[in-house]
Amino acid sequence: MIVTLRDCPENTKCELIDSDIPDALKSRLMGLGWLPGKTIQVVRRAPMGDPTIFLVDSTKIFLREEESRMIKVKPLYPAPLAVAEKGVYKITGFSAGGHRFVERARNSGLFVGGIIEVISNPLKGKIIIATKNGEISIGRGFSEKVFVEPVRR
């Protein structure tokens, strides 16, 4: 699925896609080594939710929401559920390791190694998935912490 860089939560790795970025930003990014095909790692979002630090080729830079919305990327799996398109996935891990988080996840039928199906992911608001326990909808914050990779049936 093609998403914008802004859609990618912390710890996502994604591939930069060639797209229509305004020239001023594009030439600057190119000078920093941001070329289509490069892997971008989302490192940190600022306390107030913006800007975000990204890592490309061992150089860290930060960009604001406005700019990162202009940049199109393809998430590399394992990726957070938040950027997963329709399809069947295996859960590979959680980025928030707390006991309560894992327990909450387990109660919703989400555990490491478990198989789920993404039914709809509008990139804003809730994601609807199917687990063994049936269909559930999960919030964005939660979905950013669940890492998945696609399974072929």
Residues that bind another protein (CB under 8 A): 18, 22-33, 35-36, 43-51, 53, 57-64, 66-67
- CA–CA distance, 141 with 57 (Å, rounded to integer): 28
**Max CA pair span of the chain:** 50
Closer CB to another protein, residue 58 or residue 153? 58
Length of the chain: 153
For the CA atoms of 12, 141, 45, 151, the dihedral, rounded to the nearest 10 degrees, stands at: 0
CB nearer to another protein: give 60 or 132.
Answer: 60
Tokens of 137: 């909808």
Report in angstroms how near the CB of residue 44 gets to another protein at its nearest: 5
Q: How far is the CB of 81 from another protein (least distance, A)?
A: 20
Least CB distance to another protein at residue 97 (A): 15
